Amino acid sequence: MSQYLALPAGCIYARSAGTYLAYRPNPGGPMTTTPASIAEKVERCRTYAASGATIPLAARRSALTALDRAIRAHKSDIEEALHADLGKTPTEGYMCEVGLTLAELRYQLHHVGRWARRHRVRTDLANLPGRSFTIAEPYGVVLIMSPWNYPFMLTMEPLVGALAAGNTCVVKPSAYAPATSVVIRQIVESCLPPELVTVVEGGRAENTELLDQRFDYIFFTGSVAVGRLVMQRAAEHLTPVTLELGGKSPCIVAADADLRVTAARVVFGKFLNCGQTCVAPDYVLVDERVHDAFLSEVERQINKMFGERPLENPAWGKIINRKHFDRLLGLIDPSKVVTGGGSCSETLQIEPTVMDGVTAEDAVMGEEIFGPILPVITYRSVEEAEALIKARPKPLALYLFTRDRALEDRLLRYVPFGGGCINDTIVHLATSEMGFGGVGASGMGSYHGKKSFDTFSHEKSILKRSLWADPPMRYQPYARWKDRLIRLVLR
């Protein structure tokens, strides 16, 4: 691994491709973007979008191919940055961020030609003779605001979709992941012109200034509170938005579940990235008949994956910052901890922690956890579990472990949520064949694969009429025979 050196001036230096990159997290540092320069960057992207240079299919493929090559050239830098920001191992960094991004890039490159062309649709009787078709048009200038928990993937995957759709982009990585932000900027600047994609680094001041600008589309991934603010600011310009938020995603373990597989997949999904995953199982609802066996298997799987002393495991990551570390410790009720609960303030690490006997009134159930704490609630009937879920805002994900097809059908049909898995956790987002997104308080809009192209495109509906025939029935003066024909056609 390359070395990251924390210097008194508040800089983090990363050796990359034979050069040193500097990032200054303090808002007054020389790398901070000024309001004037932000406005200039947006206007530069707007001028380029208006030129039509991004619309030809060859231009889109060229941009995607250049981005693909740059990411592959900087794989080690990305993995090192993810380790510096979140303590992710190279394996986890590639599996959950770099690899997924490259897979999405390949998918977009393979399909963008078909998506971008005209698509003929049926012409109704009233509009004959004629032809009907749709064509996708880029919105123009897109703002992508990404979070810190998967700082590379959740920046690059929306960017890939926006470029495939023919937009210019302003990208704002999270200031909470400074090393990754630096690498993202380096990758973009190495392969794409600034009028096509520009990266704005910084914190709250830069976010505020960006939201003062007029964009044609805003794609935001982050918390519900900030998402609400983004939507308010977007409304000032009537800018459409996609909001990828979060919420308390439930995991239901039925009495007929395979407990060994269930526990392994719940532990994987919950404690991946130390629980700092928007679709992590936030809490488990377990049938009382298998409660004890399930808890025993969960503890065994935690020990198997992370060892009996997780804080000494070099593959166990860390909480992003002191603020979230302290918040998470405040959610732990020591009297309900059945395993874990330990922490290290120097390294911002918290052990994989399971709490049992949790009720809806506990602090850990009052907010999205976003950390390595798993509350377990026992239920007696599926109606009880269903009522508890539906009493809360619509979650981003739901997970059900069962062999019962009737139970599966019931929960999928009657419980609202963004997406999820049957007999697994979180992996439903790792495909380009289905869209990913929330509903209600967990977000609006979706992306991945064709959904990304659609999200960043406006679909024009076009009717091309023939000139050789012009039925007169729509023209005045109206007559009885015209009225009969109109009523015959439009019914």
Q: What is the pLDDT of residues 107-165, one digit of tens each?
A: 999 999 999 999 999 999 888 899 999 999 999 999 999 999 999 999 999 999 999 99
Measured CA to CA, the distance from residue 385 to residue 419 in angstroms comes to 18
> What local confidence, expressed as pLDDT, does residue 258 receive?
98
278 is catalytic: yes
Mean local confidence (pLDDT), 267-279: 97
What's the distance, Cα to Cα, between the start and end of the chain in Å? 70
Q: Is residue 32 over pLDDT 60?
A: no
> What local confidence, expressed as pLDDT, does residue 24 receive?
34
> What local confidence, expressed as pLDDT, does residue 202 receive?
94
Measured CA to CA, the distance from residue 352 to residue 349 in angstroms comes to 10
Geometric angle at alpha carbon 139, from 134 and 143, rounded to 5°: 150
Q: pLDDT band at 470, cuts 50/70/90?
A: confident
Domain ranges of the chain: 4-245+446-455, 250-434
- Say if 4-245+446-455 and 250-434 have the same CATH topology: no
Structure tokens that stand for 334 in this block: 């020591």
Q: Is residue 99 over pLDDT 80?
A: yes
Structure tokens that stand for 356 in this block: 């049992």
Mean local confidence (pLDDT), 219-240: 96
Mean local confidence (pLDDT), 83-102: 97
H-state helical runs in 272-428 = 291-306, 322-329, 382-390, 405-414
CATH of domain 250-434: 3.40.309.10
421 is catalytic: no
Work out the number of other CB atoms within 10 angstroms of the CB of residue 6.
Answer: 10
* Average confidence score pLDDT of the chain: 92
Measured CA to CA, the distance from residue 151 to residue 82 in angstroms comes to 8
Q: pLDDT band at 334, cuts 50/70/90?
A: very high
Measured CA to CA, the distance from residue 50 to residue 198 in angstroms comes to 16
pLDDT above 70 as % of the chain = 93
Q: Is residue 14 over pLDDT 60?
A: no
> What local confidence, expressed as pLDDT, does residue 36 receive?
67
CATH of domain 4-245+446-455: 3.40.605.10
Work out the number of other CB atoms within 10 angstroms of the CB of residue 101.
Answer: 24
**Catalytic pick among 45, 191, 274, 278:** 278
Measured CA to CA, the distance from residue 419 to residue 279 in angstroms comes to 9
Q: Is residue 26 over pLDDT 80?
A: no
Mean local confidence (pLDDT), 168-196: 97
Q: pLDDT band at 89, cuts 50/70/90?
A: very high
Considering the entire predicted model, what is its pTM?
0.91
> What local confidence, expressed as pLDDT, does residue 469 receive?
87
**Catalytic pick among 80, 92, 244, 386:** 244
